[in-house]
């Protein structure tokens, strides 16, 4: 049973470019969560999605960040016009239902130059 998949594992973008991070949940999981790990701030919740719906985006920055989880395909975290402060590890997690254990992917390490 494959775990949570994330790609790319490493992503380098120049300031002002767009970053797209992909997450495929575990088989049978329809709940997806995104977290960000900044060097001095630890791991923080960003957004919680179910298929075609954003349930809670209280941790998302108000500008430049968006997320989706379409009916078909992976969940996407999109960062427009990246800045150096966006450099971080972005983790995706999935669970089979809202109140169950979350399983994490290997993360995408974004570096903005």
Partner 1 sequence: GIQVEQSPPDLILQEGANSTLRCNFSDSVNNLQWFHQNPWGQLINLFYIPSGTKQNGRLSATTVATERYSLLYISSSQTTDSGVYFCAVDYSQGAQKLVFGQGTRLTINP
Q: Which residues bind partner 1 (CB under 8 A)?
A: 31, 33, 35, 42-45, 48, 55-56, 58-59, 89, 91, 93, 95, 98-99, 101-104, 106-107, 109
Of residues 59 and 74, the one with the C-beta less far from partner 1 = 59
Written as six digits, the tokens of 67 are: 């997320």
Of residues 105 and 112, the one with the C-beta less far from partner 1 = 105
Residue 93 DSSP SS3: strand
Could you tell me the smallest distance in angstroms from the CB atom of residue 55 to partner 1? 5
Dihedral sign from CA coordinates of 54, 95, 27, 74: positive
d(C-alpha 62, C-alpha 58), whole Å: 9
Of residues 26 and 76, the one with the C-beta less far from partner 1 = 26
Could you tell me the smallest distance in angstroms from the CB atom of residue 6 to partner 1? 10
Could you tell me the smallest distance in angstroms from the CB atom of residue 98 to partner 1? 5
Of residues 39 and 85, the one with the C-beta less far from partner 1 = 39
If you search the block for the tokens 């992909």, which residue do you land on?
22
In sequence order, the 6+-apart residues with CB closer than 8 A to the CB of 59 are: 44, 45, 46, 47
Helices (H), ranges, 1-113:
none
Could you tell me the smallest distance in angstroms from the CB atom of residue 81 to partner 1? 26
């Amino acid at each position: 049973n494959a775990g949570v998949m994330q790609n790319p594992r490493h992503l380098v973008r120049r300031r002002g470019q767009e970053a797209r991070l992909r997450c495929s949940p575990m088989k049978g999981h329809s709940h997806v969560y995104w977290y960000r790990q900044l060097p001095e701030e630890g791991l923080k919740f960003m957004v919680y999605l179910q298929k075609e719906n954003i349930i809670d985006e209280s941790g998302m920055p108000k500008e430049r960040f968006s997320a989706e989880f379409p009916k078909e395909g992976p969940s996407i975290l999109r960062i427009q016009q990246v800045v150096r402060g966006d450099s971080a590890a972005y983790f995706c997690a999935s669970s089979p239902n809202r109140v169950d254990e979350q399983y994490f992917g290997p993360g995408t390490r974004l570096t903005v130059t």
